[in-house]
Amino acid sequence: MSTELGCVEHDTLSLSPEEQAMLAGEEGPGVRKAIEIIVALGRIYGARRLVPVGSVQVAGVSYRNLGEAGLRFLREWADQGARARVPALLNPAGVDLRAWRALGFSEEFAARQAAVIEAYARLGVDATCTCTPYLVGNRPRLGEHIAWAESSAVSYANSVLGARTNREGGPSALAAAITGRTAAYGLHLAENRRATLRVEVRCALRSVADFGALGHLVGRAAGNRVPYFVGIEDAPSELGLKALGAAMASSGAVALYHVAGVTPEARAGQVLAHTHERLVVDDLRPAYAALDTGSQPVDLVWFGCPHAGLEEIAEVVRLLRGRRAKAALWVTTARRVRDRAASAGLVAALEAAGGRVLTDMCVVVAPMQELGFRCVATPSAKGATYLPGHAGLQVRFGSVEECVEAAVRGAWAES
Ligand code: F3S
């Protein structure tokens, strides 16, 4: 049905003339397919309109998850002339696209991974592969609508930056990039951004791992609700918030949280819903017991989940104090962050200790069975949650200091 404004209503969903033209195929079959996906999601979730997005982060990048069927799907969409019309980058891939051979990954996997990246490049997506777009110059503004896919990035954008995104799937994020739009439902709407779980933290948070442990516990209790934290107003650095959000997004499905007096929407006004539940956290030991479960000697130590920033790389180098690592020591990061780390001498310092600063990849989605590692140490609660099931690795979970010591000794120091 047409309205006076030239909008067409699909159930409750109104489309602008430009969106109607996309749906009619006037911009080609690739764009029509993309807007069909956005409109279908809008109808399912009762959206009333589409909103322009400032940027997109696309998931479904590791060939291990995508496979030949996924690669074919991307190529066909590119053949239909679809191209991203807003800045779009990729989630991490399965291997470092340059260093895969030195790491021992197979040529066969690396070639298929390269084919995936090439397909995305044809679709106009920036080949930067990272779960921290906000560390490579993409920091959305407060209130800006975006369409990001990786759960920790979604949490950071919504919570720490106050941008607005649902957790997109691979096709829906790509469709948002191609149309420059997403359907206005879920966390795009102010009424869904209010917290319904008040979390009172009554224990000290001394490390980034402690923030992850807190997030692990709260995520399990919260499910997909929006938590509101009190009691950590003095503690959090951006690193702590990054770890907190990543952990809640993996043990639960938390895509937005607020911290009293800290995160932008909590600073701006009342974000706790009148009707809410209460959760008290006064002990982090249950989280450590759940995450620190390995029994084998540590043969890989992994930092950079989510991808490390410059200060995290510098911290690892500082804690090494010039010592050599016995275990393999990997720091994963975005390529542009690695370039900055190289200019600062951090890459050379880490390599002198026997470590590597890797780009593009994530250990969780890498074909780790090709390399023969058995037990990985990490300060990432998110990594510790996913590594056993996704990569078949045992996990030791602890602070950055404990993980650096594990790298140097090749063993975990039992406390
Ligand atoms: Fe990023 Fe992989 Fe961790 S996508 S948040 S490094 S599990």
pLDDT tens sequence across 212-234: 999 999 999 999 999 999 999 87
Q: What global pTM score does this model have?
A: 0.95
Cα(262) to ligand 1 centroid in Å equals: 24
- From ligand 1's centre to the CA of 151, what distance in Å? 9
pLDDT over 80 (residue 3): no
Query: 169: CA distance to ligand 1 center in Å?
Result: 15
Provide residues with CB under 6 Å of ligand 1: 92, 131, 150, 152, 246, 305-307, 332, 362, 364, 382-383, 386
Instruction: Check whether 388 has a pLDDT greater than 70.
Output: yes
Residue 413 banded pLDDT, cuts 50, 70, 90: confident
Pocket probe mutation, ligand 1, options 154, 362, 363, 365, max atoms within 8 Å of Cβ:
362
DSSP 81-142: T----S-EEE--BSS-TTTHHHHT--HHHHHHHHHHHHHHHHTT----B-S-GGGTT--PPT
| pLDDT value at residue 166 | 98
Q: For 310-316, what is the mean pLDDT?
A: 97
Ligand 1: residue of 307, 312, 337 to mutate (most ligand atoms within 8 A of CB) is 307
For residue 197, give the 3-state DSSP assignment: strand
**Digit-coded pLDDT (tens) for 183-211:** 999 999 999 999 999 999 999 999 999 99
Please say whether the beta carbons of 210 and 237 come within 8 A: no
For ligand 1, the distance from its centroid to the CA atom of residue 37, given in whole angstroms, is: 26
Mean pLDDT score of the chain? 95
Answer with the residue of higher pLDDT: 145 or 269: 145
Looking at the chain, the whole-number percentage of residues with pLDDT higher than 70 is 97
Pocket test for ligand 1, best of 135, 152, 248, 380 (most atoms within 8 A of CB): 152
- What H or E segment, with its residue span, contains residue 268? helix 264-268
